[in-house]
Chains A and B, each alone.
Chain A
Amino acid sequence: MFLNPIRWYHTLGRKKFFEFLILIVFILFFYGPLLHMFMLAFASKYEVPYVLPTKFGFEWWKYVLSQRSLVSSISLSFTIAAIVTVLSLVICLPAAFVLARYDFPGRKMVMLSFLIGNAFPHLGLYTSIGIIYYKLNLMGTFLGVLLIHMLGSIMLMVWLPAGAFRSIPRQQEEAARDVGAGPIRTFFHVTLPMAWPGIAVAAMFTFIASLGENQGTLLVGLPKYRTMPVEMYGVILDYPATAGAVFALILIIPNIILLLLMRKYVGPETLSKGYKMN
């Protein structure tokens, strides 16, 4: 009665039934691998003839967390992500504000120029950056790694806050001036708090992107700075799949938590506001 697809077909109608099928395929396609990884991470005993693990537990978690190099990569990744987010905010917010509020010749070109970093294959970009880095002695330095990470987030960090600044009605700032606040106080008490949700979304994406950055860090940071994604290469080659799954989950969990926290603000509206050019 409940498992017969013919009954489903007639209950849902033809169109809905196929939509339903597509949805199922979609879910399997996207969540299947994730689920599989979850399963692997908690599989203590998983041997050949069995489809599912025969014993679940935290054995591999203990194993991964006992590997000193892996644990230090976790703390390095989070440290870098936090510093990159703060630095990006400091550098990009003023730029975003100017781009949102002042019309100067070439404004659109400046906006578009942030796209260029994302318009080429990264590896090519990093190769030429590498040449400059050698000249400036940035190769293998912490600053070098930070710069590479910030490069990837500039576009989002400028465009999204610019969109947020642009959507604040000027009268709200004028009202603050009117009651006696100077331009700077107006910015910190009215403009910035009102743009904050958009800025927070950009900061979140920057944090997540920095956690996931691998190519650049691999080229610039090795051998001294091994972040989680960089270690991942080694983990895939040298450790059993179950250890890899644990490590991947540790990498994913903060992303999921951040996305859940910011769910209210991360929407098509915030994003489209940021990508408006005028």
Chain B
Amino acid sequence: MTNEVKLEIRDMTKKYKNGDGVENINLMVNKGELITLLGPSGCGKTTILRTIGGFLDCTKGSILIDGRNVENLPPEKRPTAMVFQSYNLWPHMTVYENMAFGLKLRKIPKADRHKQIMEMLELVKMAGMEKKYPGQMSGGQQQRIAIARSLLLKPDVLLLDEPFSALDAKIRSQMREELRKIQIDLNITVVFVTHDQEEAMALSDRIVVMNKGCFEQIGTPAEIYDKPANRYVASFIGDMNFIERSDRTIAVRPECIAINSSGKEELAGVVRAVMILGHYTEITVDTECGIIRSFIAGQDAVSFHPGQQVTLSYTKAHEFFN
């Protein structure tokens, strides 16, 4: 990753007829960076992705790739490649034909085409599948081919629209790892859209947290987690306890709540439940401020039992003023 700006969105607004859409979007993506647009469904993340890809026109503003305005170009003329959630591959073509289609349009000689396709299949671990039809492959395999097909065209920016959300959990995390590895190896610029915060945390160089058509925070996964800019980000990413005070809200991660140890801001309560969840234990405590959840390392949690009087303190907290 370098500091060279690959993609820039300037003051972009896209409004649909029903009033939904995104407003005043500004974003800079560096070369070789993987940036994730994260937010609940309907927050406008796919809208942004589709305007970058050329499938939607912006109402106002501009999109620049390598400093060149691409806004008036149709999708086929843009240096972007998009991978969709599903229905990526053309069912009447074999894997090989699917991958060759774009290369043929670029008038790449047959021998080169063949070599590039074979190399790319190797890279996504799908060598030997070139004669299959999409219908003969699993969802995960199809998505690999879809990503390979996009990578083959050496796009300036790769756009991924929830590419793994139709896959089951195990394959999803495996694909995630592989995508990240390929992205770093080839040093490609990626805009990734997801509603899955775990996926965003695992993959991204930076995350854009979105809500109702606006950016709430842009930052590295660690920044987003440790220094949420506002209450929305704090509640959307990871687990969070909210303690209401008269003029402010105190947000504390469950792993930052200590039980029966001296720290600042003590809070009394009664243990409600103790749940062992593998390497940590979740303890819920009834307090005057509502139910507080705490994650305690396994060996430290054995002494607690429901009904016990305890005091809580927090090692780290965020304050949001109302």
Contacts and interface: CB of A to CB of B under 8 A. Distances in A.
Interface of A: 169, 171-172, 174-182, 185, 189-190, 193-194, 196
A90 to B, nearest CB: 22
Lowest 3 A-B CB distances belong to which pairs? A179-B102, A169-B87, A177-B75
Interface string B74-105: 11110011101111111110000000011001
Contacts of B102: 179-181
Contacts of B75: 174, 177-178
Nearest to B102: A179
B25 interface: no
A175 B74 CA distance: 13
B53 to A, nearest CB: 7
Contacts of B150: 178-179
B101 A177 contact: no
Contacts of A175: 82, 84, 87-90, 146
B229 interface: no
Contacts of B91: 172, 194
5 contacts: A172-B90, A174-B82, A178-B80, A178-B81, A182-B76
Chain A interface helix/strand/loop/mixed? helix
Interface residues of B, number: 27
A181 B98 CA distance: 13
A181 B105 contact: yes
Contacts of B90: 172, 175-176, 189-190, 193-194
Given A174-B55, A175-B87, A189-B101, 4 more contacts: A179-B150, A180-B76, A181-B101, A182-B74
B105 A180 contact: yes
A177 B73 CA distance: 12
A70 B101 CA distance: 51
Given A180-B76, A193-B92, A194-B90, A174 B84 contact: yes
A174 B150 CA distance: 13
Contacts of B146: 175
Given A174-B55, A194-B92, A179 B84 contact: no
A180 B106 contact: yes
B149 interface: yes
B92 A181 contact: no
Contacts of A171: 84-88
B291 interface: no
